[in-house]
């Protein structure tokens, strides 16, 4: 089996699973080791199958379980040097830490992973393209605007996990978010709104895309049903009404999407 599942997606923790038969890698580990084991068991998988963990950036919702998980399983963690140095300064770095250059390729057994830069307010945030045989899986969350370079990176994927973080009006009116935080989220190094997510989709949708997953949805400034309904309308307008589409949630494991 080759494909992807979201184990957790949102501001309280993020972790995405990539599977190549009996080999697993994680993109981010923002959940505890105990939660990770439970979520893997829902997919009839085991934590000992994990070969590596890749980090997008240093924010807590992406790394809170990283150190314990890596050390317990004795698996390598890959990130760029800026992110790794930050984790070391904050004493969140695992024992087995390997640096990569953004834009390079990291091979983990039969899986090739390519990190690429995205505009976010981490020290050096990346998203990932993952290649397994002739399959391309793209995981892109936590960035603020749809740059042409990011759109180019996402073209041609077979399976796409893309951020649809907030509804602009709901964010502006949200009493739980101070104005400073609202400005950060709305900024060019913040998070993708539903509308900007759709703008990206307009450019990257293609006939070879088999599954779309929308993630990192805010529970305070967005709504899962709204994300699904708006995205479905947009897919229909673009001529992709039959494309498989799923909204990843904070506390639920998605199905395993096989390609």
Residue 162 has pLDDT above 90, yes or no: yes
Helix (H) / strand (E) element for 230: namely helix 224-237
Enter the pTM of the model. Answer: 0.98
What value, to the nearest 5°, has the Cα angle with vertex 208 and ends 207 and 210?
Answer: 105
Q: How far apart are CA 154 and CA 129, in angstroms?
A: 8
241: left (phi over 0), alpha (psi -120 to 50) or beta: alpha
User: Please, what CATH class does the domain formed by 2-252 belong to?
Assistant: alpha beta
Q: What is the percent of the chain with per-residue pLDDT over 70, rounded to a whole number?
A: 100
Sheet-wide strand order for 159-163: 106-108, 111-117, 126-132, 135-140, 159-163, 211-215, 244-247
Q: What is the mean pLDDT of residues 12-22?
A: 97
Residue 52 has pLDDT above 90, yes or no: yes
Q: Percentages helix, strand, coil for the chain, rounded to the nearest 5?
A: 30, 30, 40
Looking at residue 148, its pLDDT comes to 96
Q: Report pLDDT digits (tens) over 100-122.
A: 999 999 999 999 999 999 999 99
Q: Report pLDDT digits (tens) over 175-223.
A: 999 999 999 999 999 999 999 999 999 999 999 999 999 999 999 999 9
Q: How far apart are CA 52 and CA 75, in angstroms?
A: 5
Q: Report pLDDT digits (tens) over 74-102.
A: 999 999 999 999 999 999 999 999 999 99
With tokens 């990283």, the residue in question is 66
- Which tokens belong to 211? 């599954």
Residue 1 has pLDDT above 90, yes or no: no
Mean per-residue pLDDT of the chain: 97
Alpha carbons within 13 A on the beta-carbon side of 137: 27
Looking at residue 223, its pLDDT comes to 98
DSSP designation for 57: -
Looking at residue 33, its pLDDT comes to 98
Q: Report pLDDT digits (tens) over 177-189.
A: 999 999 999 999 9
With tokens 């992110």, the residue in question is 83
- Please write down the long-range contacts of 203-207, taking CB distance under 8 Å and 24 or more positions apart: 203/146, 203/151, 203/155, 204/151, 204/154, 204/155, 204/157, 204/160, 205/235, 205/238, 205/240, 205/243, 206/155, 206/156
Residue 124: pLDDT band (50, 70, 90) is: very high
Q: What is the mean pLDDT of residues 14-27?
A: 97
Q: What is the mean pLDDT of residues 121-140?
A: 97
Find the DSSP H helices in the chain.
33-42, 60-63, 66-73, 81-89, 148-154, 168-173, 179-186, 194-204, 224-237
Q: Report pLDDT digits (tens) over 223-239.
A: 999 999 999 999 999 99
């Amino acid at each position: 089996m080759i494909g992807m599942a979201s184990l957790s997606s949102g501001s309280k923790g993020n972790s995405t699973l990539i599977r190549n038969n009996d080999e697993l890698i994680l993109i981010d580990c923002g959940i505890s080791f105990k939660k990770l084991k439970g979520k893997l068991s829902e997919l009839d998988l085991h934590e000992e199958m994990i070969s590596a963990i890749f980090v997008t950036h240093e924010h807590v919702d992406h790394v809170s379980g990283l150190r314990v998980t890596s050390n317990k399983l004795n698996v390598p963690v890959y990130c760029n040097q800026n992110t790794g140095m930050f984790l070391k300064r904050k004493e969140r770095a695992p024992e087995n830490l390997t640096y990569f250059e953004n834009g390079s390729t990291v091979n983990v057994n039969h899986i090739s992973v390519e990190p690429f830069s995205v505009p976010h307010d981490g020290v050096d945030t990346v998203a990932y393209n993952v290649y397994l045989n002739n399959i391309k899986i793209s995981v892109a969350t936590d960035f603020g605007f749809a740059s042409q370079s990011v759109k180019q990176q996402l073209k041609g994927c077979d399976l796409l996990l893309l951020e649809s973080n907030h509804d602009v009006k709901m964010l502006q009116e949200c009493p739980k978010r101070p104005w400073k935080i609202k400005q950060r989220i709305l900024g060019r190094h913040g998070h993708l709104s539903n509308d900007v997510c759709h703008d990206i989709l307009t450019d990257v949708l293609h006939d070879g895309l088999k599954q779309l997953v929308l993630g990192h949805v805010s529970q305070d400034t967005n709504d899962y049903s709204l994300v699904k309904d708006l995205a479905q309308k947009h897919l229909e307008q673009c001529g992709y009404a039959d494309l498989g589409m799923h909204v990843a949630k904070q506390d639920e494991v998605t199905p395993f999407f096989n390609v």
